[in-house]
Structure formats: structure tokens, C-alpha cells
Amino acid sequence: MAEDQTALRVVLLGPPGAGKGTQARLLAEDFHLLHLSTGDILREEVAKETALGKEAKGYMDKGELVPDSLIVAMIEERIGEGKQGFLLDGFPRTVGQAEALERALQRRSLSLNACLLFEIDDEEVVMRLSGRRVCSKNPSHIYHLQFDPPKRPEVCDQDGAPLRQREDDREETIRRRLEVYHQQTEPLISFYEERGILRRYNASRSVEELHNLIRADLAALRLEGELAAGA
Ligand code: AMP
């Protein structure tokens, strides 16, 4: 397969709670991209009690990373599905995963267009995540006690189900997730900087502001690709 110059293949990098998932959902819709969130895929596997889910749960509840071998296979299976490109949210999280992704893309004669780095202070992450509540019936219905409270306390506006806190959104676990991010994921900043594809964003901006900025950058990037393909 020759490299498709008009597709967008993008990695979202940043600590938990930086807003990668929110932006990924918006951008996937803007550009018709496949949104792959390893956290969401794993949570689904846990809910369905699959073998992978059972193995992953212990790591997730403690805020530790699930072993690379399990994650890489999960992503490799899926990246081919995004014909117009993909947004990877929460992957890669280690240099080993980044290298495996690079090899998987090379085998398809493809490469990444951009790595978007979401920069935010640890204390802001703790504040954002410890106030997060999710619907017990549909975890994509997300609230925040301070910034986006439900109309009735502890009840989902959309389906009336009780809200709950994700096991890994407890303060102690959030702090462990941040430590894991600094130790194991931050080295990816220089990995992608060396490849000349890193773009930095201040993730403490509002959702809308950040979305507008990234959307403009990705539109320009796609246009460059289209011009190169047409040349
Ligand atoms: P997230 O929703 O992206 O914060 O992911 C929740 C949890 O899933 C993480 O704390 C890890 O335990 C696990 N996880 C998600 N993505 C990865 C990954 N790329 N590598 C290892 N573990 C992951």
C-alpha cells in the first residue's frame, strides 16, 4: 500500500485529564477519522469480562500501565480500519509502544503526520479528574462536580442512572497515574520531537478554544498533504 498523503494519522499525547478524549471525539467528527482510545477499549473489555479485560483490570485500578504486548496487539488489529486516517488517544504510552507503532505503520508504508502534546499542570489534572463523575449505565455520559454538574446531584441527566466515580479517578490513583506518565510516557516527547512532528498545546484552555486551534492546524496539515499528492 502506498502512503496516502491526504489521510491524517495523529497521536494525542499528554497526562490523564488533559482533555485528549474530548478533543479526539470532536476532531474525529471534523475530519472523519477513526478515534482509537486504548482506555475506552480496555474499559469495554473489563465490562464484558473478557480474558483481556480480566488481565487489564488489576493494572488499571491501581493506575499502572497494562503490559505493552497486550496493548500493541489491540491497536495493530484496529489501525487498518481508518481509511481517512486515525487519532490515537492514550496510545502510545511507552517508548516500546511508540516503536511498535512505527514498525506497524512502516509495514503498511505509512507514517504519522503529527503528535499533539497537551501540556497541563499536575494540580489542575488532580482537580479535573477527582471531580469527574460518569454515568453507571453509559460511561460516555461524563460530568464534573464543579465545572459541569448534573441537574440533580449524582444522577445522569440523559438517562437518570446514578453517577459514579471511576476507580482510577480517586486522588491517590490519579497521583500514581501522573507519576507513571512522567516516568514512562514523557520520554515520548523527545521521541516525536526528533521525528519533527511534535506540536505543543496549552491544555488548560477551554475545550472550544483548544478545539479551534487544533482543528485549524490539522486542516492546514491535511491541505499540505493534498497539495503534495496533487503535485
Ligand atoms: P485512560 O483512560 O487513557 O487514562 O486509560 C485508563 C487506564 O488504561 C490507564 O491508567 C492504564 O492502566 C490503561 N491504559 C490505557 N492505555 C494504555 C496504554 N497505551 N498502555 C498501557 N496501559 C494503558
7 C-beta neighbours (distance < 10 Å), count: 18
Ligand 1: atom nearest CA of 93 is 19
Beta bridge partners of 48: none
> How do strand 34-37 and strand 85-89 relate by DSSP bridges?
parallel
pLDDT of residue 128: 93
Q: Is 180 in the pocket of ligand 1 (CB under 6 A)?
A: no
pLDDT of residue 121: 97
Beta bridge partners of 202: 119
Q: Is 93 in the pocket of ligand 1 (CB under 6 A)?
A: yes
Provide the annotated active-site residues.
20, 93, 132, 166, 177
Q: Is 177 in the pocket of ligand 1 (CB under 6 A)?
A: yes
**Residue bearing cell 494540580:** 123
pLDDT of residue 231: 60
Instruction: Please write the tens of the pLDDT for every residue from 1-41.
Output: 455 777 999 999 999 999 999 999 999 999 999 999 999 99
Ligand 1: atom nearest CA of 40 is 2
Q: Is 133 in the pocket of ligand 1 (CB under 6 A)?
A: no
**Residue bearing cell 512532528:** 197
174 C-beta neighbours (distance < 10 Å), count: 23
34 C-beta neighbours (distance < 10 Å), count: 17
Decide: helix, strand or coil at residue 48: coil
Rounded Cα gap, residues 25 and 22, in angstroms: 5
Phi, psi of 62 (to 5 degrees): -90, -5
Residue of 167, 172, 130 whose CA lies nearest to 147: 130
Cα of 124 vs centre of ligand 1, distance in Å, is 19
Angle (deg, nearest 10), helices 68-79 and 38-47: 100
8-223 has which fold?
A: Rossmann fold (3.40.50)
Which amino acid appears at position 110 of this protein? L
Instruction: Please write the tens of the pLDDT for every residue from 82-105.
Output: 778 999 999 999 999 999 999 999
pLDDT of residue 150: 96
Cα of 42 vs centre of ligand 1, distance in Å, is 8
Instruction: Please write the tens of the pLDDT for every residue from 167-187.
Output: 889 999 999 999 999 999 999
Domain locations along the chain:
8-223
Angle at 73 between CA 85 and CA 75, to 5 degrees: 20
